[in-house]
Amino acid sequence: MAHSAGAIGIFDSGIGGLTVAQAIHKQLPNEKLIYIGDTAHMPYGDKSSELIRNYSTDISQYLIDHHKCKALVIACNTASAAAYEKLRDSFKGKLPVINVIDPMVEYIISRDNIKHIGIIATKATVESGVYQEKLIRRKKELVFSILATPLLAPMIEEGFYNNNISSAVLNEYLSMPELKDIDSLVLACTHYPLIKAQINNFYNSSIPIFDSAEVVARKLKSILQIEQLLNNGIKSEDEFYVTDYSTHFAETAKVFYGENVALKRIEY
């Protein structure tokens, strides 16, 4: 059973999920976070759902067995699409599992002024059909266009953001006919907040651009409140791990998290 003194386990294929961890840290400053970026297997977006499910299950089990986490946040759309249901069912009654897709879908359908939404995501997220299915089920009249943008996550993870290369790649993707006439855009990959400003520039700030970090952090807070799992003791230090370490990851991690993080390598 989860205990309020436990940590919140967060994972992503790489360091993109640190954008979600940062929002959680702001929303819940008294909670200890344990983050795992599966950089040895990044990108998840080009892999089969079975493989993504296996990686996600192993990481989650590790976070629970070795770190006694009280809640699990899948800070990756691709892993949320492939593995959420399995993880939720496996850990039912033990600890809450939060994915990044459902809070975003709830947020989209709550906004009356959205008629034609664009969604950009990894190939695996697009092919899973999860966004399409959840949005249609909740709001039939909503028109949406979903586009796979497989170059973006590896490009960002390699440190190419806010420069000419990322501009050129973004211009190419965002000019595609699939995204014509959208009135809003969802960044359905936790790496994309890093290029949000550039995307905003492309649209001359004329449409709202949503990412899941804030809404997921708020959802987690309300679940911890309901389940009486908020930490009421002293907070211990956050821990950040990657499955393959390079100094380059360490540098990029700082940018994603917004402050210094001491990244360590682990094997799960």
Query: Catalytic positions, please?
Result: 76, 189
Contact 101, 81 (CB under 8 A): yes
Nearer of residues 22 and 77 to ligand DGL, judged by Cβ = 77
- DSSP secondary structure of 25-76: HHH-TTS-EEEEE-TTT---TTS-HHHHHHHHHHHHHHHHHHH--SEEEE--
What's the length of the chain? 268
Q: What is the 8-class DSSP label of residue 186? A: E
The residue within the footprint of ligand DGL, chosen from 21, 34, 71, 76 (CB under 6 A), is 76
Q: How far is the CB of 158 from ligand DGL (least distance, A)?
A: 12
Contact 144, 118 (CB under 8 A): yes
Nearer of residues 10 and 182 to ligand DGL, judged by Cβ = 10
Site size toward ligand DGL (CB under 6 A) is 17
Q: Does 243 bind ligand DGL (CB under 6 A)?
A: no
Q: Write out the binding residues for ligand DGL, residues 187-216 only, by CB under 6 A.
A: 189-191
B/e letters for 209-230, b = 16+ CB within 10 Å, e = fewer, are bbbbbbbbbbbbeeebeeeebe
The residue within the footprint of ligand DGL, chosen from 2, 42, 69, 72 (CB under 6 A), is 42
Contact 80, 11 (CB under 8 A): no
Binding map of ligand DGL across residues 152-181, x = CB under 6 A, - = no contact:
-x----------------------------
Nearer of residues 2 and 79 to ligand DGL, judged by Cβ = 79
Stretch that binds ligand DGL, among 6-14, 224-232, 243-251, 255-263 (CB under 6 A): 6-14
Q: Write out the binding residues for ligand DGL, residues 115-134 only, by CB under 6 A.
A: 122, 125
Minimal CB distance to ligand DGL: which residue? 45
Query: 61 CB contacts (<8 Å, ≥6 apart)?
Result: 268
Kindly list the residues in this chain that would bind ligand DGL in the complex (CB under 6 A): 12-14, 16, 42-45, 76-78, 122, 125, 153, 189-191
